[in-house]
Amino acid sequence: MTVSLPNTLKACVILAALAAAGPVAAQEGATGTSFVEEFDRLDKAVWYVSDGWNNGAHQNCTWSEKQVAVRDGKLVLSFDAAAGGDRSYACGEVQTRKRYGYGTYEVRMKSATGSGLNSAFFTYIGPTDKKPHDEIDFEVLGKDTTRVQVNQYVAGKGGNEKLVEVAGGADGGFNDYAFVWQKERLRYYVNGALVHEVTDPEKLPSNAQKIFLSLWGTDTLSDWMGRFSFAGPTTLEVERVAFTAEGDPCQFDGSVACLMN
């Protein structure tokens, strides 16, 4: 028997079915959903802590879980003189276990101080995950902490760097950095202000990515990050990280995602 439903009732049935099915991932492999992390603790079911290796000859420190801590409601990543592997310094990094797609990515952080260091909030996927190298970056380069560098990679191709002023300095206090990643554009924000927009399809990443927070140093990339000179332990501090999936409501006052609605 066929039952005919009024159009308004049909619409309600369709919406209910979509809601029951749950959100649709923006990209293949995007398993992460909206969240706000304020670091009351470090949940290792959510965050993977890099430990016991480095990313290559350009990096002068070994990732160490000893350089990752939560104190006073903040994630603290440290850089310090501590032997590990074939490196004389130790540094800290965390990354999400899940991958995230289109939406708003936000961090509130205070960068480390020191030439030759890199304080970074970024998303990444690559060959180790059996995917092309896609990446979206905020990086504070130790040679000049009055600015933050934004950049993105598509299939391993970068060269999209832009330096943006940070009032008071990125290491002078906590600042808010955000990017809104959509299929047809990418927008970067510093302290709530739009500072850069990308619409060229060839410069827009498309693969779902993990979220990273890291602090590391170099002896070799001095033109980019400054000549390395160790002056003692230093830290990158993070008060909050958030992801708001495209189409979801904003999750906290002042979120850039609130501007999208």
Task: Specify the pLDDT at position 15.
Answer: 34
Quick check: is 54 in a domain?
Answer: yes
Number of domains present in the structure of the chain: 1
Contact by Cβ (8 Å): 248, 34: yes
Quick check: is 12 in a domain?
Answer: no
State pLDDT tens for residues 14-45.
333 333 333 444 588 999 999 999 999 999 99
State pLDDT tens for residues 139-176.
999 999 999 999 999 999 999 999 999 999 999 999 99
Contact by Cβ (8 Å): 82, 66: yes
Read off the CATH number of the domain in which 117 is found: 2.60.120.200
Is residue 13 pLDDT above 90, yes or no?
no
Q: Which residues carry out catalysis?
A: 135, 139
Quick check: is 21 in a domain?
Answer: no
Quick check: is 180 in a domain?
Answer: yes
Task: Specify the pLDDT at position 27.
Answer: 83
The domain of 160 spans 27-260
Quick check: is 8 in a domain?
Answer: no
Q: E strands, 50-156, where?
A: 61-63, 68-71, 74-84, 87-96, 103-110, 117-125, 134-141, 147-153
